[in-house]
Amino acid sequence: MPYESSLRLGVFFLVLAIMAAAETLRPRKRLTAPRFRRWFSNLSVVLIATLLVRFLIPLVPTGLAVTLAERGWGLFNFLSLPQWLTFLPSVLLLDALIYGQHVLFHHQRLLWRIHRMHHADVDIDASTGIRFHPIEIFLSMLIKLAAIALLGPPPAAVLTFELVLNGCAMFNHANVKLPLGLDATLRLLVVTPDMHRVHHSTHPHEFNANFGFSFPWWDRLFGTYKAQPDEGHETMVIGLNILRDPKYLSLPNMLAIPFL
């Protein structure tokens, strides 16, 4: 897939620009922190994470899937199933994996210390969707590569999963106000901003709900779905009570959060 990097980068900036414009024109919730400062730190951390992971793991998920397909390795390749038959199951299984990984990062104490940098953002918008600690991105990459090595999914399915995951992460974190009827329809198929905003509440019973990134079905299936925040979207408090100091808006202090 010679154009994979260009496609991924193009989709990333396109979705980010669209959601940034949408939440500027039709915001769901008033922001409490300087937007430029937050965006600078959040974009900087994703750049650092990307460079670090590419340096430490010189193998991308799609490239691994291509190698597995060429050598007949992995469950689906071993069974010699046609790619059209394994495409959708591969995307769904990889998305379910991300749901399970997200739940694990909330309930295992050491992993939560890493993941809480994502939740420490005192506002939620499209930039929050890419605000993950480099250590978490590194661990997530290892988990994805292991799952791909086990399954042997079609390369096209892996690329689709990656594009959908990245695009949905920015969409469902966006501070955009959708018509209630549209939100109710969309959340049957995809995680919407109102659905995921609940997950960024300061209340434990809410930030331990709605773990899905792309598809909403896993939360409903495993009993972690919560339709709306108790205090309403406009008045709910975003972030973590223990990390509300403005100093955590700076990049160095963000990176230090797992070690506090």
pLDDT single digits (tens) 129-155 = 999 999 999 999 999 999 999 999 999
Q: For residue 22, is pLDDT > 80?
A: yes
Q: Where are the domains of the chain?
A: 4-259
Model pTM above 0.75: yes
Residue where the block lists tokens 């154009």: 3
Average pLDDT over residues 85-89: 96
| Alpha helices (runs of H) in 29-82, residue ranges in sequence order | 35-56, 61-71, 75-78
Among candidate residues 139, 122, 94, 111, the one with its CA nearest the CA of residue 32: 122
Q: Which two tokens stand for residue 52?
A: 């670090």
Residue where the block lists tokens 């010189």: 58
Q: For residue 48, is pLDDT > 90?
A: yes
AA letter at 242: I
pLDDT score recorded for residue 2: 66
